Amino acid sequence: MTVAQPETAKYVYGVVRSEGASPPRGAGIDDVPVGVVAHGSVAALTSDVPVDFLEAGREELLAHSRVLEEAMEGAVVLPMRFGVVLPDEETIHERLLAPYAEALEAQLQEMDGKVEVTIKGIHDEEAILREVIAESREIAKLREAIQGKPEAATYYERIRLGELIAEALDDKRAAAAPQIIDRLVPFAVDVRVGDPVHERMAVNASFLVERARLGEFDQAVDRLGVELAGRIQLKYTGPLPPHSFVELGAGV
Amino acid sequence: MATQQQLPYRGGSGYVARSSSSGLYDVLELILDKGLVIDVFVRVSLIGIEILTIDARIVIASVDTYLRFAEAVNRLDLMQTETQGLPEMMEDITEGGASKKTKGILQGASEALFGEDEEDEEEKEKEPATKRRRSSSATAKRRRASGGSSSGSSQRRSKSS
């Protein structure tokens, strides 16, 4: 990889407005400077990568994220998903900027002044298990039946117990998620609810928030955090570029 | 409350764990799953990343998870009155919140992704932002804790081991 490659391809980070577009100060993948490829009113943020750039890890993911984060400081940016590499500048025009110009333009307009914030909520293990035991006779009885007996002798009962708990947690999630989301939606423009990526995850949602209302949104999260303390731990990530709210419509 | 309208969010109450986009771990899902994409040009592959985005959902409904839940409820009465107090929660928050406590999928995925040389890298790379160092050291801490050191978090860890 350190051998100088005469041939390069173009990694694409995101799309910005051409007018006043300036590349982020920081470098991109492999410390290569980020440039702007403009086409009419829209432009791509790109940097050169080796033609054989096929595998990536932590450094590259961080670079992608860092470039977008810097870009969004000064202007609206539509983030690309990680890993989009086009052969050359020509192809960026032909396959991205020209055919999708209208869709990109419309989304730049729509996303201007807005950021994404993700809110994840994880049930506190002890608190939620106590709740589940208290609310289900079946779980409580099964637990008592198993208590003190050797693990090997109660293998299937344990699995059954765990399965019942997993189901109960599903119900808990179904109940908790809308309550959390409903409290934050009034401060957001849009919301996308994702799948749980953890067994005790109560909510995993992305909110599109106007920068001007970020303070209000944050205060709402804070109030919720206090109310849920000890039961659900909230985790706030952002402000981020609007990953969850952009898409390429049909090209021309 | 009304005075800090324009200030960036700082998790004022201390009850909400916060991370910026520089915490790779927290934005992984978004970077890999969301955003504009021209499918034929997604050429870069990431080894080990699928664990987080796909396997996590399967693992939730696995026998291992069931057994872990069963073990967790069995343990409960041993600490009947010793419920989690505020100081311990604060520690959780400063060390990365919920993710620290949850042994299993997420941690496994992050280790698979970041690899075992995390701590070496941490020393080598003095330059990166403090946010990133924070996330590295939290991961390292988790690993050390699971190895059975005497840090504050090892008590919690030992309960689940």
Q: Is the Cβ of B72 closer than 8 Å to some Cβ of chain A?
A: yes
CA–CA dist A195, A202 (Å, integer):
10
Q: Is the Cβ of B46 closer than 8 Å to some Cβ of chain A?
A: yes
Residue A212: band (very low, low, confident or very high) from pLDDT cuts 50, 70, 90: very high
Task: Note whether A138 and A215 are same-domain residues.
Answer: yes
Per-residue pLDDT, averaged over A85-105, amounts to 94
Task: Note whether A52 and A120 are same-domain residues.
Answer: no
B143 φ, ψ to 5°?
Answer: -65, -45
Task: Note whether A98 and A136 are same-domain residues.
Answer: no
Task: Note whether A50 and A152 are same-domain residues.
Answer: no
Q: Which residues from chain A sit within 8 angstroms of residue B60, using beta carbons?
A: 166, 196, 198-199
**Does any domain span residue A1?**
no
What pLDDT, in 10s, does the model give residues B5-41?
333 444 455 678 876 545 667 788 888 888 998 877 8
User: Among the three residues A112, A132, A163, which one is the final residue of a domain in this structure?
Assistant: A112
Per-residue pLDDT, averaged over B42-56, amounts to 58
Task: Note whether A93 and A14 are same-domain residues.
Answer: yes
What strands lie across the sheet with A114-123, from one edge to the other? A190-193, A201-210, A114-123, A232-240, B16-19
Task: Note whether A121 and A99 are same-domain residues.
Answer: no
A118 φ, ψ to 5°?
Answer: -105, 140
Search chain B and give the residue with CA nearest A160: B66
Q: What is the pLDDT of residue B6?
A: 34
| Helix ranges (DSSP H) in chain B | 24-33, 50, 56-60, 63-75, 86-94, 98-101, 105-114, 118-124, 130-146, 152-159
Whether residues A229 and B89 touch (CB distance < 8 A) is answered with: yes
Cβ–Cβ < 8 Å for A196, A204: yes
CA–CA dist A51, B2 (Å, integer):
53
CA–CA dist A191, A209 (Å, integer):
9
Per-residue pLDDT, averaged over A195-199, amounts to 83
**Does any domain span residue A79?**
yes
Q: Is the Cβ of B104 closer than 8 Å to some Cβ of chain A?
A: yes
Q: What is the pLDDT of residue B27?
A: 81
- Tally Cβ neighbours within 10 Å of residue A110: 17
Residue B51: band (very low, low, confident or very high) from pLDDT cuts 50, 70, 90: very low
Q: Is the Cβ of B13 closer than 8 Å to some Cβ of chain A?
A: yes
CA–CA dist B159, B161 (Å, integer):
6
Angle at A221 between CA A216 and CA A222, to 5 degrees: 95
Residue with tokens 């119900």: A171
Task: Note whether A144 and A58 are same-domain residues.
Answer: no
CA–CA dist B5, A217 (Å, integer):
10
Q: Which residues from chain A sit within 8 angstroms of residue B63, using beta carbons?
A: 159, 162
CA–CA dist B52, A111 (Å, integer):
28
Task: Note whether A74 and A140 are same-domain residues.
Answer: no
**Does any domain span residue A250?**
no
Q: What is the pLDDT of residue B78?
A: 47
Cβ–Cβ < 8 Å for A145, A161: no
Q: Which of A15, A62, A165 sits opposite B69 (nearest CB)?
A: A165
User: Among the three residues A112, A141, A156, which one is the final residue of a domain in this structure?
Assistant: A112
**Does any domain span residue A252?**
no
How far off is chain A from B149, nearest CA to CA, in Å? 23
User: Among the three residues A112, A145, A165, which one is the final residue of a domain in this structure?
Assistant: A112
**Does any domain span residue A3?**
no
Per-residue pLDDT, averaged over A102-107, amounts to 95
The tally of domains found in chain A comes to 2
How far off is chain B from A234, nearest CA to CA, in Å? 5
Most confident listed range (A2-11, A71-80, A146-155, A183-192): A183-192
Task: Note whether A222 and A234 are same-domain residues.
Answer: yes
**Does any domain span residue A140?**
yes
Search chain A and give the residue with CA nearest B42: A84
Task: Note whether A123 and A238 are same-domain residues.
Answer: yes
**B residues 74-103 near A, CB within 8 Å?**
74, 76-77, 79, 83-84, 89, 92-93, 97-99, 101-102
**Does any domain span residue A41?**
yes
Task: Note whether A119 and A108 are same-domain residues.
Answer: no
Average pLDDT, chain A: 91
Per-residue pLDDT, averaged over B97-113, amounts to 38
**Exposed / middle / buried, residue A45 (Cβ in 10 Å: 0-12, 13-18, 19+):** buried
**Does any domain span residue A16?**
yes
Task: Note whether A106 and A169 are same-domain residues.
Answer: no
Q: Range of A55's domain?
A: 8-112
